[in-house]
């Protein structure tokens, strides 16, 4: 993302990679998923560590304290029995600030300006992380295995220094420390002295202009620290290289690899055995003292590794998501020494450049348009698997198929969830701070030292090894705004090759190139602030051509429910009254600090807001039409012969805190106009209007063709007077994103006012409505000043006149609701009906599920929402949600709309 951060302030410390471990240990992914606590769960005082060979046990939590408050030497702090009185509890993955928030030290940082009140100076010194674990015996070897240290740490075990911060540095480097000689039966202590983080000086994580940065800058340990037990031979780097026959998909070759490492001073022979996809694996591996060998099983020596009719993994909506398991055991003299378990999928990803130089993804030989969103973790990097699962479900509900992770590369469970749900991911390094210090003149990152080069390469190797088996991962972006230079590119590519990286490597998310990889095939031309809906149809700048890696019309104002949770009454007054005011919940950037551009468009197009509620309802209308147009334009142009659209990533899918911009869904999982605009645009079979040429187009995102369709377009005055009507029958459209133009609306229609409504319907051969789409348009269109386009938007010199919507008469909507519950899930069915009196339609009718106190029940998956109904029409909507989220309340539904009075009715 284009940032405008302040320049870096301090030199980077030298860093040397201590040790790189290719993969999580046996069963670690499943273990971490099972043991991850909720963000506010207090840590266990002591972690019991079993002796079983191949066990990998995450430390259950820590006690943490500022070194400014600890005068005792490291040897004492890291010894069993140390009295950590007054220290703060922290979870197994926790930044310093996350722990302090959970301990009640500071008030809710998502409300008002509470985050700004947290003193930065508290985090300018190192902090101690201390944890105890127990073992029953010392017959097995013991290792500490970890990554996710932000930014660096000195490590101690039982009073002894085992690693220095110069070695344990970088958020993504992986380290394995042999602590066998220090471990004793009973209680043991591990302590980390965590150094402060500076994203401009450290290869870690930063926030750029996404949100107000946390004052601790995420210092802490944000991934599991594992205590591993085993015998003389360790198995590491276990993985499966797959090769799928494309396009037949009739066969696949598997190659299994692992490293067998002799940790003892004696020569041994390891028997490596295992199973994968029904094939039995066995190999004797002689190992000299402290020798490591790569063990490989291929179809040439293990015929069972050539699969017929493999179970192929597909993105959601294109097929199923089957996964395979690899299990390996290394035994010495008949006794198990170590085990390894990995899960993987079989699929093929290609991303060639098309004739226009745009990146075009193909999964298992089938082309697909990337419909994506930018992912943000929690601002304090707190891991909550249920919350993340809800987020991913929302992405799928919106019809998205991809999430882009610019830095902040999430834990293994995230990618495991994406694998099972069929959601593609595009991880990569972040822009503009230390990661691009050598190549981005507009960034704030410091230049790299030789030690930084080693840390960067080790980071790439560790992440490649961690992510390569996940079928949801379809690329790695080794640059964001800037591509790496020749030296950095070579280091990254060497690390990726050594890790058997299976997927396309992209030099940058921008249109920059790198020496070996060449063109990125992506563009980063904005916008990031408001532009009108018609902008997206132009084949220039951020318009619907090529692959746009991050773009949107900027602000996404949440619902009134969310706004009242996140801002004070005085702040809410300023929100709608003062467009030039600095909005703390927008961005620390001077470019994005206000809502001036957005508010000017809102007033220019819809009229000045009368109060907060009027401001919010106009915002929802504006966001719906803009987000819908962005996705619709890319979908319409995806099959063009000239400069087709190949991908678009909405900036962003979600925010890490309570925000006023860059989000399709808000912090509390509430759904506003932006959400339902995306959901409408991305429905599988869809009828849509083109802002540029007035064509009515049917887009078929399903695999199979659709035929015997009837498309109808009707134009109305805001009061419901019909001015034009046209239908086209027997419309057919191929699958996989194909489109068919049904007809084109005339340039002018007699009697049509400056503001008018367009209703599109698509019915199947049986007359059943399969798609409906309502637009509010103007005969006086938005006019763009292309000559003054800058990196974040194109100015608008004249706004479309949509003020006529204010004249729509108040129109009640009849509603009935009922709820059924089973197995912890409830479904509320709501039928809305326009009673038929008069001509005026109900526009943008919204239904919210609420409890008996009027509070939203979240998250909810609606079949549709924010609908338009004409006299005599009705629609049935369903809402699916967890019964527990009612918290014992009876469900109710709140119905409101642009011109529909609000009412709440029981839904029990």
Question: What positions carry a catalytic annotation?
Answer: 481, 550
- The DSSP output letter for 802 is -
CA dist., res. 899 & res. 807, Å (int): 9
Q: Which residues contact 608 (CB under 8 A, 6 or more apart)?
A: none
- Count CA atoms closer than 13 A to 785's CA, side-chain side: 9
Indicate the pairing of strand 722-733 with strand 186-194.
unpaired
**CB of 242 within 8 A of CB of 253?**
yes
Indicate the pairing of strand 306-308 with strand 251-262.
antiparallel
CA dist., res. 314 & res. 345, Å (int): 9
Tokens encoding 281: 């694996």
CA dihedral 445, 446, 448, 451 (to 10 degrees): -100
∠ CA 193-222-172, nearest 5°, is 90
**CB of 563 within 8 A of CB of 616?**
yes
Tokens encoding 628: 């819908």
- H helix or E strand, kind and range, residue 31: helix 28-35
Q: Which residues contact 836 (CB under 8 A, 6 or more apart)?
A: 871, 872
**CB of 382 within 8 A of CB of 98?**
yes
Q: Which residues contact 623 (CB under 8 A, 6 or more apart)?
A: 553, 555, 556, 557, 672, 673, 674, 677
What pairs with residue 370 in β-bridges? 647
CA dist., res. 865 & res. 675, Å (int): 10
CA dist., res. 607 & res. 615, Å (int): 10
CA dist., res. 265 & res. 277, Å (int): 36
**CB of 511 within 8 A of CB of 433?**
no
**CB of 847 within 8 A of CB of 839?**
no
Indicate the pairing of strand 306-308 with strand 903-906.
unpaired
CA dihedral 177, 179, 180, 183 (to 10 degrees): -150
- The DSSP output letter for 738 is E
CA dist., res. 587 & res. 652, Å (int): 13
CA dist., res. 544 & res. 358, Å (int): 12
CA dist., res. 456 & res. 510, Å (int): 20
Give the CA distances from residue 393 to residues 316, 386, 425, 699, in Å, rounded to whole numbers and listed in that order.
11, 11, 14, 23
Place of tokens 């509603």: 815
HEC readout, 446-470: CCCCHHHHHHHHHHHHHHHHHHCCC
**CB of 308 within 8 A of CB of 250?**
yes
What pairs with residue 263 in β-bridges? none
Is 835 buried (19+), middle (13-18) or exposed (0-12) by CB count in 10 A? middle
**CB of 813 within 8 A of CB of 895?**
yes
CA dist., res. 718 & res. 776, Å (int): 9
Closest CA to 555 of 616, 614, 631: 616
Closest CA to 359 of 640, 648, 791: 648
CA dist., res. 812 & res. 825, Å (int): 31
């Amino acid at each position: 993302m284009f940032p405008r951060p302040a320049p870096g302030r301090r030199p980077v410390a030298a860093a040397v990679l201590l040790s790189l471990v290719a993969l999580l240990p046996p069963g670690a992914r499943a273990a971490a998923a099972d043991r991850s606590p909720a963000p506010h769960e207090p840590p266990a005082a002591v972690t019991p560590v079993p002796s079983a060979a191949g066990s990998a046990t995450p430390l259950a939590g820590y006690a943490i304290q500022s070194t400014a408050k600890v005068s005792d030497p490291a040897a004492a702090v890291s010894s069993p029995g140390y009295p950590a009185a007054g220290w703060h509890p922290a979870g197994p993955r926790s930044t310093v600030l996350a722990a302090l928030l959970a301990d009640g030290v500071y008030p809710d940082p998502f409300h008002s300006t509470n985050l700004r009140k947290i003193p930065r100076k508290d985090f300018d010194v190192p902090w101690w992380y201390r944890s105890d674990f127990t073992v029953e015996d010392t017959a097995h070897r013991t290792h500490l295995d970890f990554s996710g240290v932000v930014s660096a740490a000195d490590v101690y075990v039982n009073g002894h220094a085992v690693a220095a911060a110069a070695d344990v540095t970088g958020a993504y480097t992986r380290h394995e420390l042999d602590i066998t000689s220090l471990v004793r039966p009973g209680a043991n202590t591990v302590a980390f002295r965590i150094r402060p983080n500076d994203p401009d000086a450290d290869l870690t994580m930063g926030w750029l202009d996404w949100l107000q940065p946390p004052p601790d800058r995420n210092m802490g340990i944000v991934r599991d620290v594992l205590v591993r037990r085993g015998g003389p031979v360790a198995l590491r780097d276990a993985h499966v290289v797959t090769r799928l026959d494309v396009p037949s998909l009739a066969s696949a070759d598997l190659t299994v690899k692992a490293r067998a490492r002799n940790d003892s001073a004696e020569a041994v022979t390891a028997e490596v055995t295992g199973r994968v996809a029904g094939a039995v694996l066995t190999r004797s591996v002689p190992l000299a003292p402290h020798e490591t060998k790569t063990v490989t099983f291929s179809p040439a020596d293990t015929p069972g590794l050539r699969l017929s009719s493999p179970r192929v993994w597909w993105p959601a909506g294109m097929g199923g998501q089957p996964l395979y398991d690899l299990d390996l055991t290394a035994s010495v003299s008949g006794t198990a020494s170590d085990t390894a378990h990995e899960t993987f999928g079989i699929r093929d990803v290609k991303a060639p450049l098309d004739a226009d130089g745009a990146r075009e993804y193909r999964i298992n030989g089938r082309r697909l348009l990337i419909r994506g969103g930018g992912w943000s973790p929690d601002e304090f990097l707190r891991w909550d698997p249920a919350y993340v699962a809800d987020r991913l479900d929302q992405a799928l509900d919106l019809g998205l198929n991809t999430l882009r992770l610019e830095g902040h590369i999430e834990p293994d469970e995230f990618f495991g969830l994406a694998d099972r749900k069929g959601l593609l991911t595009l991880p990569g390094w972040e822009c503009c701070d230390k990661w691009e210090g050598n190549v981005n003149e507009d960034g704030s990152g410091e230049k790299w030292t030789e030690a930084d080069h080693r840390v960067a390469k080790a980071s790439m190797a560790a992440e490649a090894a961690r992510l390569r088996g996940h079928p949801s991962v379809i690329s790695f972006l080794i640059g964001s705004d800037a591509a790496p230079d020749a030296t950095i590119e070579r280091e990254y590519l060497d690390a990726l090759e050594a890790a058997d990286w299976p997927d396309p490597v992209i030099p940058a998310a921008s249109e920059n190139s790198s020496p070996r990889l060449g063109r990125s095939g992506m563009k980063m031309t904005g916008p990031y602030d408001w532009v009108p809906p018609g902008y997206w149809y132009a084949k220039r700048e951020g318009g619907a051509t090529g692959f746009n890696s991050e773009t949107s019309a900027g602000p996404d104002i949440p619902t009134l429910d969310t706004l009242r949770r996140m801002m004070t009454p005085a702040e809410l007054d300023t929100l709608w009254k003062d467009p030039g005011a600095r909005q703390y919940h927008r961005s620390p950037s001077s470019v994005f600090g206000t809502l001036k551009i957005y508010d000017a468009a809102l007033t220019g197009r819809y009229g000045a807001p009368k109060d907060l509620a009027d401001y919010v309802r106009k915002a929802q209308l504006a966001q719906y039409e803009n987000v819908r147009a962005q996705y619709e334009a890319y979908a319409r142009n995806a099959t063009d012969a000239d400069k087709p659209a190949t991908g678009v990533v909405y900036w962003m899918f979600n925010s890490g805190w309570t925000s006023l911009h860059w989000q399709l869904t808000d912090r509390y999982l509430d759904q506003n106009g932006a959400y339902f605009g995306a959901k409408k645009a991305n429905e599988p079979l869809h009828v849509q209007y083109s802002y540029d040429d007035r064509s009515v187009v049917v887009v078929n995102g399903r695999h199979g063709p659709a035929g015997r369709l009837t498309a109808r377009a009707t134009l109305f005055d805001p009061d419901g007077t019909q001015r034009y009507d046209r239908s086209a029958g027997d419309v057919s459209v191929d699958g996989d994103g194909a489109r068919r133009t049904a007809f084109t609306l005339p340039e002018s229609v007699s009697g049509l006012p400056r503001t008018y409504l367009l209703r599109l319907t698509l019915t199947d051969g049986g007359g059943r409505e399969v798609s409906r789409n309502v637009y509010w348009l103007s005969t006086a269109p938005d006019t763009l000043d292309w000559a003054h386009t800058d990196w974040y938007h194109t100015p608008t010199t004249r706004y479309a006149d949509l003020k006529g919507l204010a004249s729509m008469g108040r129109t009640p909507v009849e509603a009935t609701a009922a709820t059924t519950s089973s197995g912890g899930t409830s479904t509320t069915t709501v039928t809305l009906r326009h009673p038929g009196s008069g001509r005026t339609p109900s526009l943008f009718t919204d239904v919210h599920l609420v409890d008996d106190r009027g509070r939203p029940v979240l998250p909810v998956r609606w079949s549709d929402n924010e609908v338009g109904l004409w006299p005599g029409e009705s629609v049935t909507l369903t809402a699916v949600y967890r019964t527990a989220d009612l918290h014992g309340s009876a469900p109710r539904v709140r119905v409101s709309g642009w011109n529909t009075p609000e009412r709440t009715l029981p839904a029990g």
